Homo-oligomer: A and B are copies of this chain.
C-alpha cells in the first residue's frame, strides 16, 4: 500500500484558500461585466483591470478566455446545485417541489449575473463543456427526483413525471426571467399564484 501523501502545511492551505478567493473574485468580476455590458466586455485585459491583477493571473488560472467562460458556467451551476441540494426534504413531497421552486428563485436573484449566462445564451457561439453540462444535469436531477417522489406517492396528474418536472422548471424559469428583467409589477404575488396553480391549476370549476 502506498503511504498517504503528507498533510498539506498551513502555508499550503492558506495558499490554496487564497487561490480559491482570487478565483471567485475574478469570476465574479467577469460575470458582472458580462451582465452589465454584454460579451464584448469579456476581454481578459478588461477583467484583469476590473479585478486589479495582471492578465498573467487569468492565463494561469483559466488558461485563457474560453477556459474562463467555461469556469463561469461551472461556478454558476455549482452555486445553484448547492442551493437546491440544501433544501430540506419535506414530509409532503409536493411541498418539497414547491420549496425547490422558491430556492431556485432565491438562487437566481442572489447570483443573477450567473443566471443569465447559464440559461440565456449571452455569448453567441459558446457552448459549455462536459464538466459544466454534468454539473447542470446533477442540479436538474434534484428537481426530477423530487417530482419522481410525488409520482411514487401517487400524487401526480396523468402525465409523465419527466414532462411535469420540465413544465415546473419552465414555470419557475419564466417567472425568474421576467422578475430579473423587471417585467413584473408584483413578483411575490405572481410567485404565490404560480405555486397555488401548481396544486390546483388556475381554473376552478364553473359556478352553478
Interface residue stretch chosen among A16-24, A35-43, A60-68, A75-83: A35-43
Q: Which chain B residues lie closer than 8 Å to A207 at the CB level?
A: 154
The reply to whether B194 and A170 form a contact with Cβ atoms under 8 Å apart is yes
Q: Does A150 contact B (CB under 8 A)?
A: yes
The reply to whether B202 and A168 form a contact with Cβ atoms under 8 Å apart is yes
**A120 CA / B174 CA spacing, docked (Å):** 11
The reply to whether B206 and A155 form a contact with Cβ atoms under 8 Å apart is yes
Copies of this protein chain in the complex = 2
**A168 CA / B193 CA spacing, docked (Å):** 9
**A138 CA / B72 CA spacing, docked (Å):** 38
The reply to whether A184 and B166 form a contact with Cβ atoms under 8 Å apart is yes
Query: Which residues of A does B touch, CB under 8 Å?
Result: 35-40, 94, 116, 119-125, 150, 153-160, 163-164, 166-178, 181, 183-186, 189-190, 192-194, 196-204, 206-207
Further pairs besides A38-B38, A174-B176, A199-B201: 16, Cβ < 8 Å: A38-B122, A40-B40, A150-B203, A156-B202, A157-B201, A158-B204, A160-B193, A163-B186, A163-B193, A164-B193, A166-B190, A167-B175, A167-B193, A171-B194, A177-B177, A197-B201
